[in-house]
Homo-oligomer: A and B are copies of this chain.
Amino acid sequence: MNQPAFPRADGHIIADDGDQLHFCSTCAFSQACLSEGMDKRALNDLHVLVEHVGPLHAGDHVFREGDRFEAIAAVRAGTVKTYVIDPDGREHVLGFHLPGEVIGLSAIDGEHYPCNAVALDTVMLCRFSFPKMAVLAAKLPGLQKHLFRLLSRDIGRAALLAGDWSADRRMAAFLIAFSQRLAARGFSPNRFQLTMARTDIANYLRLAPETVSRVLRRFQQDGFLVVDRREVELVGREHLEELAGPVLRQ
């Protein structure tokens, strides 16, 4: 029996709400814990740490730069953008976080969050006190290993888009990576909604919004992509993958 803890977010990507005895199926931790053969008691230890948060609405902040770091959170539904504002007032987008992904990891080293996290649409979160989770990780090798891997993965991910790639390659890499992450959660890989504004994509890819617009138009003219406002369809996926290959190292 599934007893939602919060109202369902209409029209937004969400898998399930979990309940008192089960984790959300898309939870960043459930897989790790189940596959590591945790016993029921151990699983329950982790489960009681979960604090469901939400729904947050577009523009609501999950945390702000400088807030005291206490918890990491797994996105359960919606999209979260992490960003910083530089001294000139320019926004730098650090990442977009989809259901099943974890935010707040970069705050572990320090007392405070080093960036802002804002909901781009209706967002539901599973919040975990990090100190408590660390204590539990010492008792559950599977959980510890999973945390290490999550952290390690983000190091590699951050290095990805850091290369000096052309606007075309960066845009293609963004689309392919977004598609792959959606597919991993069971959503359609070739037709999906971009939940963020062009400006956000631009600030993430280190491009001007105008350049994002122009590249998307050219992709469409060349027949790789169909764009309708924020909805995209990857028609010529092979070509996009070829462009993205060097960036994503695939």
Contact = CB atoms under 8 A, between A and B. Distances in A.
Interface in A128-163: 134-135, 137-139, 141, 144-145, 147-156, 158-159, 161-163
Counted per complex, copies of this chain come to 2
A87 interface: yes
A246 interface: yes
Interface residues of A, number: 41
Contacts of A106: 152, 155-156, 159
A107 interface: yes
Q: Is the interface of A mostly helix, strand, loop or mixed?
A: helix
Contacts of A105: 152, 155
Given A106-B159, A109-B152, A149-B108, A134 B138 contact: no
9 contacts: A84-B249, A86-B246, A108-B149, A109-B152, A109-B156, A114-B156, A155-B155, A155-B158, A162-B206
